[in-house]
Chain A
């Protein structure tokens, strides 16, 4: 018999309940009605701030199409529950509905607390909780003007960053003597204040707000000490209060400090009513983080399905976050409140880092800690809470992985706290499913799929399980591509023979030779067909054209940004006609001429070079095209000149040899006609400049590029792309596109942003200089061949009969053009005998 579950609130936790129930309710025992006050289905509130940093509401959505189409789920948006009748088992709603339930789950979350200071309700005062709040803040923000955030906790700092992203000069007013008083300690707070101060925030700690001033609209705020701060926008972020207003009407018990009072199984004081998430006070205590809410949701789903008694396991309140580029982590007993706790502090003022470990009275067991400025040790430390230290404290603070090995962790230690996955779960998955990499673990266990801070630990666990992720390029080199890159760069080894003699074995193969050729070319070692290099190249590079199925080649001249004059179009047509080539418009906004025989390539290219064309590198692991839309020259929506920028980028990076091909796009506005987010790097115009996205591609596993930096001017954009590409060229594996490279990178996009935008490794200048050398050293490869009789001599059908056409090549006609004909195999029959010279 189907029963009805009514869920009040479609926030993160309510959604998790619906999702879990639908996943596990094999017999469709529960019909679900979700009554949701917000105008849109559940979205990722944790990532709310990214809505002002390039993400759209659709990007934040948590709700899949399957769920919306699921006949067992009815989702009513814009519908607030106004009353509950526990005896009749009915709820009524703001739009006059009356719904009967068999089970009722309250997931109403919290509301931001607005302190009742005078003026708190003037125009220009906001809170920070929903997409609508952010829309309102965005509409009120005035670039260049000050904006004030009241509250210097985690959310307050996020709100301050939001104001900063909107171009405002942000002030933070915090009553406590330091920032983030709940999570971190005095010493950490000082380091944090200094680091965020360096980023342009003005911090007022130990400051109470006396009033918000203005007539109708906010003009300023006054602090208790009389300080007046001019401002157009005030955002209150002074904590949250559970939304328990339904309790009274329904006669449900409340906790002393608010929230529906529930037991360890999330049951309220009334039969068949549960409360989960931020509105639930489990044994009197509310949790303001999403992970505990998720465990409550999963527990209640299990109770409803009678799978388990769904006891709330308690919560890990550890947090690691990056605020304005500053790492902050707090875990376990961060404030050393345990009886007899010892604190070990390491502060490095010069580097702006602070670390504190809280230890048991005998200094053997880790109780908690605080990390500011560099939180890379978090992944190792958090699972060690409550356990004996496997190494001296100072060694544990070294970056993740280098300090302790994962072997020190017991099997039940939670390695991924976001998804509550233990070390044992992960090692079992590795061993039983034969997993060999981090993406495999993510798919199987969900570990590493949320904040990502446990990914370094996942790698350690793979190694611990004996998974050898061999980095050897091939049987001839034990090194990875990026290691070979560094060897060549550092030692100046100039040839493959020298490299394999010193660092490899044997004579090489079709894997290491092109890889080394590409590295030599990235480092600028002359024409790719010079001397020994010619024999290293894949056939496409060897003949500077793309080999087709019948051994002929296609020719793709560069058409930067896809812009082409009528004269050049005519020239292409004439060449194609003269040599009888098949022509097609490519997916990369240029024209491909197919069916050229080897010996025709130089003749064709002579004509093309004379007409002003140059190599398009369609054959190389190199920059392909920078696709453009028409942009503001013509388009009525365009806000920047996307064509000029695409041409500038394509000409700058043309000829750059890379681990794999590199594609780019530039769109003149957010309509994105150039599909820039499907490219290795994509540039999208904004009214202030350009947004730079990285790590996209189409192909086998399509992936959208992600925002690296916003509102850049032309030169800032070029500088970041220079750094991004050179960093990729240096560190990626062979045939690893930027998307896969980014996916495999420790710390992911955040780490990339640190290196590229914030220059955390101090290599930005070097990367830019390397790119400038590439730009200065660029010459057209095809012109280079035409000018060199030695290179031209290789373009023959047969060296002993240079003009005899290859008898294996045949064409037939289709739709008025040629295509390869059926294959005949003119293979001579010979006795197989060993050859001796």
Chain B
């Protein structure tokens, strides 16, 4: 695993997303209410705009989700799968917290 230090955990409020650059890849980082971290691609596959991190974090029947702010499709934060369209999926990245630093792995 090629772990990269990305940012301090203090930049990542709970139930909120932030955009980060991981080796030139736009990535959306999320921290849920129970302090789990998720990293998915920031680019909305439906419109090509880098906006996923600006979506609303929530859950659908317990599955942690983010809704794209552009046209409101909902994606699983765990798998990146779009829950409204089986053909769309966001890339997901391994993410972890070491001390107060958030790290994302890229292939």
Contact = CB atoms under 8 A, between A and B. Distances in A.
B67 A806 contact: no
B72 A510 contact: yes
A508 B59 contact: yes
A826 B22 CA distance: 13
Contacts of B94: 833, 835-836
Contacts of A58: none
Interface in B9-33: 11-16, 18-21, 24-26, 29, 32-33
B1 to A, nearest CB: 11
B107 to A, nearest CB: 6
Contact of A827 (B7, B32, B39, B41): B41
Contacts of A497: 33
A679 interface: no
Contacts of A540: 69
Contact of B67 (A475, A510, A551, A800): A510
Given A807-B26, A832-B92, A825 B65 contact: no
Interface in A435-476: 475-476
Contacts of B57: 507, 535
Majority-rule SS of A interface residues: loop
A542 to B, nearest CB: 6
Given A547-B69, A825-B45, A830-B93, A837 B36 contact: yes
Nearest to B90: A827
Contacts of A808: 26, 43, 48-50
Contacts of A789: none
A815 to B, nearest CB: 23
A502 interface: no
Given A834-B78, A837-B36, A510 B55 contact: yes
Interface in A527-557: 532, 534-536, 538-540, 542-543, 547, 549-551
A804 B36 CA distance: 27
A833 B92 contact: yes
Contacts of A514: 56
A825 B92 contact: no
Given A475-B60, A506-B59, A797-B19, A823 B47 contact: yes
B98 to A, nearest CB: 10
Contacts of B33: 497, 507
B59 A507 contact: yes
Contact of A830 (B15, B60, B67, B107): B107
Interface residues on A, range: 35 or more
Interface string A794-837: 00111111001011110000000000000111111111111111
Contacts of A532: 14-15
Given A506-B58, A508-B59, A832 B89 contact: yes
A549 B49 contact: yes
A509 interface: yes
A513 interface: yes
A818 to B, nearest CB: 16
A543 to B, nearest CB: 7
A542 B54 contact: yes
Given A475-B60, A547-B69, A550-B49, A539 B26 contact: no
Contacts of B49: 549-551, 808-809, 823
Contacts of A835: 38-39, 78, 92-95
A799 B67 contact: no
Nearest to B58: A509
Nearest to A836: B94
Contacts of A836: 94
Contacts of B82: none
A825 B69 CA distance: 17
Nearest to B77: A835
Given A510-B72, A830-B91, A835-B95, A799 B18 contact: yes
A296 B58 CA distance: 61
A751 B78 CA distance: 50
B48 A798 contact: no
A823 B46 CA distance: 11
A749 to B, nearest CB: 34
B13 to A, nearest CB: 7
Given A507-B57, A799-B7, A831-B107, 5 more contacts: A513-B58, A536-B56, A549-B70, A835-B78, A835-B93
Interface of B: 6-7, 11-16, 18-21, 24-26, 29, 32-33, 36-39, 41, 43, 45, 47-51, 54-62, 64-65, 67, 69-70, 72, 74, 78-80, 89, 91-97, 106-107
What are the nearest 4 A-B pairs in CB distance?
A823-B48, A551-B49, A539-B69, A510-B67
9 contacts: A510-B74, A547-B51, A549-B70, A798-B19, A798-B21, A799-B18, A807-B26, A808-B43, A829-B91
